[in-house]
Amino acid sequence: MNLPDDLKYTKEHEWCRMKGKRATVGITDHAQSSLGDIVYVELPEVGDVVKKGESFGVVESTKAVSELFAPVSGKVVEVNDPLADAPETINEDPYEEGWMIQVEVSDEKELAGLLDAASYGKFVEEEQA
Amino acid sequence: MANPTGWKPDVQAGVAHAAQEEVGLGHATRGLAFEEGLLFERGSRGRTGVSLPPRGSDADPAREIPVALLRPEVEGLPEVGELEVVRHFTRLSTWNWGIDTGFYPLGSCTMKYNPRSSEALARLPGFAELHPLAPPSMAQGALELMYRLERALSEISGFATTTLAPAAGAQGELCGLMVIRAYHVARGNPRKKVLIPDTAHGTNPASSALNGYQVVPVKSGEDGRLHPEAVRAAMDEDVAAIMITNPNTLGIFESHIAEIADVVHAKGGLVYGDGANMNALLGVARPGDMGFDVMQFNLHKTFATPHGGGGPGSGPVAVKEQLAPFLPLPLVVREGDRYRLVTDPAERPRSIGKLREFWGNFGMFVRAWALIRELGPEGLRRAAELAVLNANYARALLKDAYDLPYATDSLHEVVFSDKNLKPTGVTTMDVAKRLIDHGFHPPTVYFPLVVHGALMIEPTETESKETIERFCAAMRDIAEEAAVRPEAVKAAPVKPVRARLDETRAARKPVLRWTPGMKVE
């Protein structure tokens, strides 16, 4: 399982990378491999406001449709538009090219509730047991 | 001389056994299969499948159409003879799979056999040829059938009254949620949320959202059941309703339903029952007695009317007394020995209105009524018991080959996970595809979402013991094959007219339009 150390994770299998007040958000390697081939992704628009723990979009694979849950609250400042035509990028490169949205974090205290790579890895193992 | 060589087939081994392997455990065969191209690629210029009578005058109809609307030539329309058209569609129909072809254990879909007797009665000219605008005085038989079916469904489910209007299960849900909203609005507050367990059908959140409700998911417990504490924690006076399928999509009976209903009712909420799994309860238990306030039926599941391409469906909605004024129109009422269609909203001012054109999918009402009358109360109960027995037989035959994620008793369907397959690299989808080679329709896969790599099997009461045994033998065969020759399972299916299709490419880069001369790899 590929789990970069510099990321924060959620129990809903999203990751978030902080740079200043800006969080880049995507789904984990484990999430993309469980979903299988991703065929469609629905993301918010720049300017929309997302709330921690609430749905900000939808990802659809040949198996199922799953909601995407925001790891942090804030305003969407950038959206990875090329994913609309190339959703397979999420499967191929979930942590770099496959990022989904960038959020201007409104409350940095929320970050404390996220998991680090080791605890997320442990959570996934327990979930699969 | 009957058998000059003295040769005897050995059913345990040898030729007969080999022949059986050849055809697959579901009696699939590799007989003559017709390849069939697109209709657009057939025929020749100027060929036609119809002959029009000679024109009675010199008037040319084309001249009646404004020139601006006429196209000089239409590119690419098929020009074929009648026999070519007949063969085209007949051949395509031989590629089809249906309950009349073979076993179809699609979980939560209740793909049961549609009895020929119900079909025959639905084709009686008095029913089949009745015009939807016929005056009620000339449609008394049809109205009486609707009235009696409404009464029977209300009695079977334990509710006060039922609307037959909804066209299918999902529209039944929409209708039920509209009724719930209308009820809350009449009490001064439509409320904001609907609670939905994580085992729910995907249509439940959709129906809630369409009615302007926010969906609040509720986690089920370790035993696969919904627990009153989880509902209590999520319940407040903004909750309009909870939507529960009982038995749930794990095939498990929600044994805390009465207490959960009390929790929801105490805060003024209503309990919606998704009747998709009603086949497990027919004649045994009534949702109305468990605390449900509203429930939709799926006549195309529970009452064996055609289903899935052969429909249309029908999704009657049953309600308790306090919700009856909000039901959609039309309704059929009995006045003495006459039956009357209520269509005027002035007569039912609180009705949510009309859901669709005309009077519901009447042909389905005839079939459902025929089944109810043919089976009777004892027969309906027996059908539910057999459906439960068949699912449990499949569970018993498969539980050491596939992982059973919930040990809790199953009712009419059973759900396995892909856990035992993990080390082989074979996925649930591969198992489903391999079943096709054995001559079985795969079960529901990857649903419910709470089970990893779910395989959800619902045999229904109409399958024989032998069919269930053959299906389970095929499932076991595939599990063994996955362990020793995973590549064979991953390459399946190899026997049908079309081998494994690229579902990913079909979803990512669908080709939806044919144009003359196009080449598709």
Dump pLDDT digits (tens) for B154-191: 999 999 999 999 999 999 999 999 999 999 999 999 99
Euclidean distance between CA atoms B47 and A101, whole angstroms: 57
User: B452 — contact with chain A (CB < 8 Å)?
Assistant: yes
CB contacts, 8 Å: A83 with chain B: none
For strand B414-416 and strand B455-457, is the pairing parallel, antiparallel, or unpaired? antiparallel
CB contacts, 8 Å: A40 with chain B: 507
Is the Cα dihedral B372, B373, B375, B377 positive or negative?
A: positive
Shortest alpha-carbon distance between residue A5 and chain B (Å) = 27
Shortest alpha-carbon distance between residue A74 and chain B (Å) = 21
| Phi (first) and psi of residue A69, to 5 degrees | -110, 135
- Under an 8 Å CB criterion, which residues of A touch B? 34, 36-37, 39-40, 60, 62-66, 87-88, 128
- Looking at residue B372, its pLDDT comes to 98
CB contacts, 8 Å: B507 with chain A: 37, 39-40, 60, 62
**Burial grade of B249 (CB within 10 A; 0-12, 13-18, 19 or more):** buried
Determine, for residues B446 and A65 on separate chains, whether the beta-carbon distance falls below 8 Å: no
Residue A22 has pLDDT above 50, yes or no: yes
Do both B145 and B129 map to the same domain?
yes
| Phi (first) and psi of residue B234, to 5 degrees | -95, -10
- Looking at residue B12, its pLDDT comes to 47
Other beta carbons within 10 Å of B248? 27
Half-sphere exposure of residue B464, counting CA atoms within 13 Å on the CB side?
5
Determine, for residues A63 and B429 on separate chains, whether the beta-carbon distance falls below 8 Å: yes
Here the CATH number for the domain that contains residue B478 is 3.90.1150.10
Q: DSSP code of B256?
A: T
Other beta carbons within 10 Å of B283? 17
Which residues, 6 or more positions from A29, have their beta carbon under 8 angstroms from its beta carbon?
A1, A2, A3, A94, A95
ipTM comes to 0.78
Euclidean distance between CA atoms B286 and B281, whole angstroms: 7
Residue B31 included in any domain: no
In the numeric block, which tokens belong to residue B235?
């319940």
Place of tokens 């008037």: B59
Of B446, B507, B508, nearest to A64 by CB-CB distance is B446
CB contacts, 8 Å: A62 with chain B: 429, 503-504, 507
Beta bridge partners of A79: A101
Cβ atoms of residues B193 and B264 within 8 Å = no
Do both B287 and B390 map to the same domain?
no
> What b/e string do you get for B208-229 counting C-beta neighbours within 10 Å, with b at 16 or more?
beebebebbebebeeebbbbbe
In the numeric block, which tokens belong to residue B321?
């007394």
Full domain range(s) for residue B126: 117-374
Euclidean distance between CA atoms A80 and A72, whole angstroms: 17
Residue B346 has pLDDT above 60, yes or no: yes
Nearest CA in chain B to A127: B452
Euclidean distance between CA atoms B36 and A6, whole angstroms: 56
Helix axes B203-210, B169-186, angle to 10 degrees: 40
Residue B262 included in any domain: yes
Considering chain B, what percentage of its residues have pLDDT values greater than 70? 95
Element (H, E) at B153: helix B140-157
Between B28-42, B185-199, B486-500, the lowest mean confidence (pLDDT) is in B28-42
Cβ atoms of residues B360 and B331 within 8 Å = no
Do both B395 and B444 map to the same domain?
yes
Q: Average pLDDT, stretch B135-150? A: 97
Do both B160 and B276 map to the same domain?
yes
Determine, for residues A63 and B445 on separate chains, whether the beta-carbon distance falls below 8 Å: yes
CA-angle at B232, arms to B230 and B237, nearest 5°: 135
Mean pLDDT of chain A: 94
Determine, for residues A63 and B446 on separate chains, whether the beta-carbon distance falls below 8 Å: yes
Do both B344 and B404 map to the same domain?
no
Residue B14 included in any domain: no
Do both B306 and B386 map to the same domain?
no
- Looking at residue B21, its pLDDT comes to 55
Residue A128 has pLDDT above 80, yes or no: no
Shortest alpha-carbon distance between residue A106 and chain B (Å) = 24
Q: pLDDT tens across B66-89, in order?
A: 988 888 887 778 899 999 999 999
Identity of residue B88: H
Residue A39 has pLDDT above 90, yes or no: yes
CB contacts, 8 Å: B508 with chain A: 37, 39, 87-88
In the numeric block, which tokens belong to residue B304?
């064996």
- What confidence tier does A127 reach under pLDDT thresholds 50, 70, 90? confident
Residue of A12, A62, A124 to mutate when probing chain B, most B C-beta within 10 A: A62
**What is the CATH class of A8-108?**
mainly beta
Between B310 and B260, residue with greater pLDDT: B260
Domain ranges of chain A: 8-108
User: B202 — contact with chain A (CB < 8 Å)?
Assistant: yes
Residue B14 has pLDDT above 50, yes or no: no
In the numeric block, which tokens belong to residue B482?
């996955």
Shortest alpha-carbon distance between residue B448 and chain A (Å) = 10
Q: Provide the CA B240 distance to its chain's centre, in angstroms.
A: 27
Euclidean distance between CA atoms B383 and B460, whole angstroms: 8
Q: Average pLDDT, stretch B106-131? A: 95
- What confidence tier does B310 reach under pLDDT thresholds 50, 70, 90? low
In the numeric block, which tokens belong to residue B507?
């979803």
Do both B354 and B422 map to the same domain?
no
Identity of residue B302: T
Shortest alpha-carbon distance between residue A37 and chain B (Å) = 6
Of A34, A64, A88, nearest to B508 by CB-CB distance is A88
- Looking at residue B18, its pLDDT comes to 43
Of B429, B446, B507, nearest to A39 by CB-CB distance is B507
Q: Provide the CA B73 distance to its chain's centre, in angstroms.
A: 43
Euclidean distance between CA atoms B159 and B318, whole angstroms: 6
Do both B147 and B260 map to the same domain?
yes
Q: pLDDT tens across A86-126, in order?
A: 999 999 999 999 999 999 999 989 999 999 999 999 999 98
Euclidean distance between CA atoms B433 and B440, whole angstroms: 10
Residue B131 included in any domain: yes
In the numeric block, which tokens belong to residue B311?
């429909």
pTM (2 d.p.): 0.88
Do both B328 and B403 map to the same domain?
no
Beta bridge partners of B501: none
Considering chain B, what percentage of its residues have pLDDT values greater than 90? 76
User: B505 — contact with chain A (CB < 8 Å)?
Assistant: no
Between B382 and A63, residue with greater pLDDT: B382
- What confidence tier does B521 reach under pLDDT thresholds 50, 70, 90? low
Do both B347 and B429 map to the same domain?
no
CB contacts, 8 Å: A34 with chain B: 452
Q: Average pLDDT, stretch B199-214? A: 94
Of B202, B445, B508, nearest to A87 by CB-CB distance is B508
Do both B389 and B299 map to the same domain?
no
CB contacts, 8 Å: B429 with chain A: 36, 62-63
- What confidence tier does B17 reach under pLDDT thresholds 50, 70, 90? very low
Q: DSSP code of B455?
A: E
Euclidean distance between CA atoms B489 and B507, whole angstroms: 23
- What confidence tier does B4 reach under pLDDT thresholds 50, 70, 90? very low
Q: pLDDT tens across B265-274, in order?
A: 999 999 999 9
Beta bridge partners of B162: B318
**Burial grade of B74 (CB within 10 A; 0-12, 13-18, 19 or more):** exposed
Q: Average pLDDT, stretch B425-453? A: 94
CA-angle at A96, arms to A90 and A98, nearest 5°: 20
Q: What is the 3-state secondary structure (H, E, C) of B363-393?
A: HHHHHHHHHHHHHHHHHHHHHHHHHHHHHHH
Q: How many domains does chain B have?
A: 2
Here the CATH number for the domain that contains residue B163 is 3.40.640.10
Residue B104 included in any domain: no
Do both B274 and B390 map to the same domain?
no
Q: Average pLDDT, stretch B91-101? A: 90
CA-angle at B13, arms to B478 and B488, nearest 5°: 25
Identity of residue B448: P
User: B206 — contact with chain A (CB < 8 Å)?
Assistant: no
Q: DSSP code of B132?
A: T
Q: Average pLDDT, stretch B267-290? A: 97
Q: Is A79 helix (H, G, I), strand (E, B) or coil?
A: strand
Nearest CA in chain B to A40: B508
Q: pLDDT tens across B43-61, in order?
A: 888 898 888 888 788 888 7
